[in-house]
Structure 1
């Protein structure tokens, strides 16, 4: 039991390296999105000094750390790096992993030609010469790495997905979902990803008894639900969201805001947003429900009333 506890409290350290152009920057960016602390182009000879630096937070509260380096890093020497990392791996307070990103030489050459960048090891020679020299230099690290990801057939999105699949914990894969209501008369929500206009539904505002109420009141909900178009429209929007939301999550989108609008943001949009949030909860999502204009003073002129009582 004691060893299990100490294992849980070890600082996670990942060394990320590989061929230039194979996707190290993309990989580090994904790790950062997943909650890792990132240090890129770090002189590996100073790694033990970095790990011994006193930190304010106790070890069990520190987040995982990813160190990026490649053949351009000052003092780069694969054999000495391997020796140093082996020593760190024997420490009881560290959990050390090495990730190597590889890519076929012909694909690396294509990427360099496409971006018109010079390979750092090529000098005045063709790109292919620099790639061969780098591959020979990195061979010991490639053989020794714990994890190898070949990006030859990957787009940037493919690599992002592969990194998330391998390194995201369950909490990091959760989607932060907001469902909101708003009134078009007071402007569109500036950060909504999906906006649904509910103004095609019958408007409770025109019923004098319902006008002072909101979509949170049962009588308003019954009125909106009785509209012949409501049930089918609601089901289609719900099914669309159930299709899209998992895809957004797979693509690495951390936040999604779904907004429902009506004229004043007090009746139809409020009721629909409440119903949709409940429906999404039934399918395993945990949306936050917000009503942008619910607390605003009822504005009859915004709804088009021919007469406003003072």
Structure 2
């Protein structure tokens, strides 16, 4: 019997995760009253035909949520096999999602969203602290979340809670608000001033060769690799679960894309973290013309 407690911040994607687990063959129950949790687990573990179950539990349980800590502790002492999946996202992303959907936060009442999110984080701290899996959905598309859940619950792969996003951008469109590390590569040769390269992007080999000529880019990348290789294990050790490495040039089309691709290639293949690359501004110049 595989039992998963799906929890986390409001707006982080718990409902979507439960639907995905259901597609993977889990019997899913959302917002089950705390007083019925033990009974439900007894039923599914006591000879039931259900082989996989997921229970959605979060701040909607109100004051009873604190009782879940004792229940989980008791299950651990009884050596009941279960996993806690915690869905999280940055405050800025959660606020953005609530505003887009025009939903009210369960703890905000008539007050500000950020205060409600702060209260919720405090109340859910015990669940995040002991979670087996923490997925930060700040930078994840729905299909990418599905891939991560399949890795954990379908393919039984080892999973680490760190997810790294390599993001290229243009300074003239603003520095990404969610960037953890920002690197400015405007010192590299600029293909924009070469007519035959101007309409191409860092995805093209001709642009990559131009950016890399002279050896400066190679030296920079060598030092960048060393820094990232040093930082990632330490971030993981500290419990960080989302890292956005932003690489910026003027327009976000040539140099930043080239360097972002090189860094992503360097990091690929590790089983210690998830990885994705995104080019935020690569097409913006074309759209403005």
Query: TM-score, normalization: structure 1?
Result: 0.49
CA radius of gyration, larger in = 1
Instruction: Please list every run of at least 4 consecutive aligned residues from structure 1 whose deviation after the TM superposition is greater than 6 angstroms.
Output: 159-162
Unaligned runs of 5+ in 1: 1-8, 14-27, 30-34, 71-80, 98-158, 301-309
Q: CA 1:263–1:48 in 2, change beyond 3 Å: closer, same or farther?
A: closer
Distance 2:3 2:202 in 1: 50
Q: What's the counterpart of residue 67 of structure 1?
A: 68
Q: Deviation per CA, 1:120-153: give whole Å up to 9, x if none.
A: xxxxxxxxxxxxxxxxxxxxxxxxxxxxxxxxxx
Equivalent-residue separation in structure 2 for 1:277 and 1:289 (angstroms) = 7
Of 74, 80, 86, which aligns to 1:95?
A: 80
Q: How far 1:296 moved relative to its partner?
A: 1.6
Alpha-carbon separation, structure 2, partners of 1:263 and 1:186: 9
Following the alignment from structure 1 to structure 2, what is the Cα–Cα distance between the partners of residues 163 and 239? 32
**Cα deviations across residues 204-261 of structure 1 (Å, max 9, x unaligned)?**
1111221111111111111111133211111111111111112222222222111110
Q: Which has the higher helix share?
A: 2
The structural deviation recorded for 1:197 is: 0.5
Matches within 5 A, 1:91-240: 95=80, 163=130, 167=132, 171-240=158-227
Task: Note if contact 2:261-2:277 (Cα within 8 Å) is conserved in structure 1.
Answer: yes
* 3-state DSSP of counterpart to 1:231: helix
Structure 2 SS opposite 1:68: helix
Equivalent in the alignment of 2:233: 246
Return the match for 2:277 from 272, 289, 292: 289
**Structure 2: 5+ residue runs without aligned partners?**
9-16, 18-28, 58-66, 83-125, 134-151
Kept in 2: contact 1:198–1:260 (CA 8 A): yes
Kept after mapping to 1: 8 A contact 2:201/2:257? yes
The aligned residue for residue 261 of structure 1 is: 248
C-alpha change, 1:299 and 1:206, in structure 2 (3 Å) is: farther
For the residue of structure 2 that corresponds to 1:289, the secondary structure is strand
Residue 286 of structure 1: CA displacement? 4.6
CA contact (8 A) 1:215 1:267 kept: yes
Contact 1:201 1:229 in 2 (8 A): yes
